[in-house]
Structure 1
Amino acid sequence: MTTTPLIELRSFAALDTARGDLLDMYAEVRAPLLHLPNYAVTAFGERLDRHGTEPGFAAVLAYAEGHPVGYAYGNRIEDGDRYWQRTSPAPSAQYTEHPTVALKEIGVRPGWRGTGTARRIHDALIASRPEPYVTLMVNPAAGDGKVHQLYRSWGYEGIGQSQPSPASPALTVMIRPIR
């Protein structure tokens, strides 16, 4: 697509009405990795259900002609959260002294990549958040490093490493100011 596609962004503060669309999109977005235990749809569903009950949960889904094409979700984390406990080296106090938004997952269906849809979803998710920072974890090998570079172009900087579970690859922890 050479022009910005027409999409509708829908925000969700609860998981129940967005869960089905999130699972369907995840399965397509992560299709090449679904054979790996950490990326299996069942593993994602378990993480999604846990994240959906955490404080400050919010999701933004993009729809084109009524069909879901992309998503992002996250929640609030605070000093002492397991997210920060698994980050090495320990993050600076400037990032942990106030609550931070943890972007837990973002994805866009293959046909919608390169259209600016991911950035629009991302920006909508954090636009009204009161937290000063947003953080995410990225597999530095994803897309042969292109995903990591994309986040850098959005203003994120690496602050450490994390391995959220034994089945997870080592991830780069990145952060940026919301405003």
Structure 2
Amino acid sequence: MTTAPALELRQFTTLDAVRGDLLDVYAEVRAPLLHLPNYAVTAFGERLDRHGEESGFVAVLAYAGQYPVGYAYGNRIEHGDRYWQRTSPTPANQYTQRPALAIKEIGVRPSWRKTGTARRIHDALLTATSDEAYVTLMVNEAAGDGKVHALYRSWGYEDIGHSQPSPASPLLTVMVRPTH
């Protein structure tokens, strides 16, 4: 890993000022997959708009000057949330009985990968929330030859099940770790 260049991390709780930047970064991050219905920019935009309206929405974007280079965003989820209902096997109560932070997306432009940028954005997102005991995310184990899954494990996440959030989505591995 090389040393991360100077970045400014900005936090947002609405999409008003940042939706365009999120779409731009997403399009570059997911470029190899954009031909698949679940990964199309329009499908992401629809999910993003829905997530932006959900409880506890928070996003952190990294900027080099005015150029957005990466992002992470998520929502607060409660006991009984559809996120947990779609997870199989049913997650242990320790994860679901209290509110948790569900990271919905993390993305860093290819030219900024292996600089520590993703971890800095991730950690800033966790710092932006204070009440959640756990953070959860989903990963496509096959993506990137398993490198992303291995990266999340190195950040302290453990596998707790699988989920297919929509018919167009691949089967994803649900991971969790303590927030702090």
With the length of structure 2 as denominator, give the TM-score of the two structures. 0.98
After superposition, the C-alpha distances for 1:104-152 in whole angstroms (9 at most, x for unaligned) are 0000000000000000000000114210000000000111000000000
The match for 1:140 is 141
Show the counterpart of 1:47: 47
1:168 partner letter: S
Match of 2:64 in 1: 64
Moved over 3 A (4+): none
Q: How many residues align?
A: 179
Query: What amino acid maps onto 2:150 in structure 1?
Result: Q
**1:12 correspondence with 2:12:** yes
In 2, distance between residues paired with 1:140 and 1:4? Answer: 26
Q: What residue in structure 1 maps to residue 164 of structure 2?
A: 163
State the partner residue of 1:120.
Answer: 120
Task: Give the aligned partner of residue 108 of structure 1.
Answer: 108
Distance 2:2 2:85 in 1: 43
Give 3-state SS (helix, strand or coil) of 2:141's partner.
Answer: coil
Q: CA deviation at 1:3?
A: 2.2
Where 1:176 maps in the other structure, the secondary structure is strand
Distance, in Å, in 1 between the alignment partners of 2:142 and 2:22 is 23
Q: Which runs of 5+ in 2 are unaligned?
A: none
Q: Which runs of 5+ in 1 are unaligned?
A: none
Task: Give the stretch that moved more between structures: 51-60 or 122-131.
Answer: 122-131
TM-superposed deviation, 1:4: 2.0
* Aligned AA (2:47): R
In structure 2, C-alpha distance between the alignment counterparts of 1:152 and 1:16, rounded to whole Å: 33
CA distance in 2, matches of 1:77, 1:177: 14
Code of the aligned partner of 1:138: V
